[in-house]
Structure 1
Amino acid sequence: MALNIPGGEFLTGSLVILLIIVIITIISLGGVIAEYTSRRKVPVGTIRDLIYDINAAGSVEELKNIISDAKIPKSQKKVLTEIASSEALGNTSREALARKLFEFEEEKTLDNLQKTDIITRIGPTLGLMGTLIPMGPGLAALGAGDINTLASSLTVAFNTTIVGIGSGALCYVLGKIRSGWYDRYLSDLDALIDAVLDYMNK
């Protein structure tokens, strides 16, 4: 339903999208909080010791046990175990498998960041549109002495601006937090994959 201000019919679609953005932003905030409480922070020392343990493994089965007992995320264990189980492959094929598994993990992290990245860009843009569209009719109403229409236009303009910029700013922060987590996750995984490949290619 169009808003009861001049130009309001053009704002209806933008406000619906802004409402969806607010809902997605709230869900994303909850997701980050849940991820923070459940994620395992892996110290650099743990990765270092695990690399030494991998290198010192006496057999592939021992290597798998080391990976299974390691204090790292389950998703990393799954990747490393799959590489350790590739005894039938040649070195080149094993490295290709490792590269593909790493790329898959990288794609998953990018997918998680995509929603907040989109809102970071679209939110302020829609907020600006919601500001500018009613300002023209509002100023025209001011010239005609229609204060009520001007007040309605300004209210909509300010509200859409706040919602758009606020959603974009919050998603920017959430994206930065997650990006830091995922960069560390991928860096650790890359180092551990290299260690397993080095052992398997002996």
Structure 2
Amino acid sequence: MVIPGSEYLGKILHVISQSFLLPVILALIIIVALAFAELGAFAAESRVRKRSRPADLLVMLRNMGKIHSWQLQNLQKVITESSLPSGQKQMLLRMIANADLDSETKRLLAREALDSLEFQGMKTLEKTDLIAKLGPVLGLMGTLIPLGPGLAALGQGNLTSLAQAVIVAFDTTVVGIAAGGIAYLISKVRRRWYEKDLTDLEAILEIILGGEGDAAQESKTVAAGGRRS
């Protein structure tokens, strides 16, 4: 039984679906280009991290642990000479520069700094997360859209049109999955890096804030007639 009007609705759906083919192919080209661009940036970031960060951070934490909190110039020197990213350096130096604030305010500033760093990491991850999700979706759309006309051509015995449709379908599938796989790998590794950065920075801030508390206690002791040991 044929529902009245279904033929026209089917034709409308067919026109709509076929009109998506060119935008999907263009989007896949853009996405795979972005995926390879992110891969290059990821390789450069990985090289920098492997070369300097782990050992240098350990040395930095040890040096900070040996410095009395009231020796702010030495603490600033340790941070400035470290291989931390410039944004994190500026964040820590601002915390040291605000040593005259009360402890609660400084902890609020530290939490705001950590939230800002986390937000920056999320912005960086958003691009590759989006590619990882959209790549396979667009690849699937690029697979299904040309198959309809291809099957219709097969019914008419036109194998050439069928072959062309299948080629387009397979190509879009491969490109979409490849872009999504590359982006997923980058997001996975970067997310681990950024979580470690947050943990390390939180430890450094605790050393700075805790040390400043010790310095305040030392100052009270000296004012009461005591002496530094």
Question: After TM superposition, is the score higher than 0.5?
Answer: yes
Hey, what does 1:25 align to over in structure 2?
35
- The 5 A counterparts of 1:1-202 are 8-39=18-49, 40-43=52-55, 45-46=58-59, 48-54=61-67, 56-202=68-214
Q: Letter of the aligned partner of 1:13 in structure 2? A: P
Deviation at 1:30, TM superposition (A): 1.0
Structure 1: runs of 5 or more not aligned: 1-5
Deviation at 1:144, TM superposition (A): 1.4
Structure 2: runs of 5 or more not aligned: 1-14, 215-229
CA distance in 2, matches of 1:50, 1:77: 16
Q: CA contact under 8 A between 2:142 and 2:173: conserved in structure 1?
A: yes
Q: Aligned residues, how many? A: 196
**Which ranges of 4 or more aligned residues in structure 1 deviate by more than 4 Å?**
none
Q: CA contact under 8 A between 1:22 and 1:167: conserved in structure 2?
A: yes
CA distance in 2, matches of 1:50, 1:169: 41
Hey, what does 2:227 align to over in structure 1?
none
Relative contact order, CA 8 A, sep 6+: which one is greater? Answer: 1
Identical positions, percent: 35
Deviation at 1:176, TM superposition (A): 1.4
Q: Letter of the aligned partner of 2:123 in structure 1? A: D
Deviation at 1:128, TM superposition (A): 0.3
- Provide closer, same or farther for how the CA distance between residues 13 and 70 of structure 1 changes in structure 2, counting only shifts above 3 A: closer
Q: CA contact under 8 A between 1:138 and 1:153: conserved in structure 2?
A: yes
Q: CA contact under 8 A between 1:53 and 1:66: conserved in structure 2?
A: no
Q: Letter of the aligned partner of 1:188 in structure 2? A: D
Structure showing greater Rg? 2
1:130-177, Cα deviation, whole Å (9 max, x unpaired): 101111221121111111111111011000000000100011111112
Query: Match of 1:201, SS?
Result: helix
CA distance in 1, matches of 2:170, 2:25: 12
Q: CA contact under 8 A between 2:53 and 2:83: conserved in structure 1?
A: no
TM-score (norm 1): 0.88
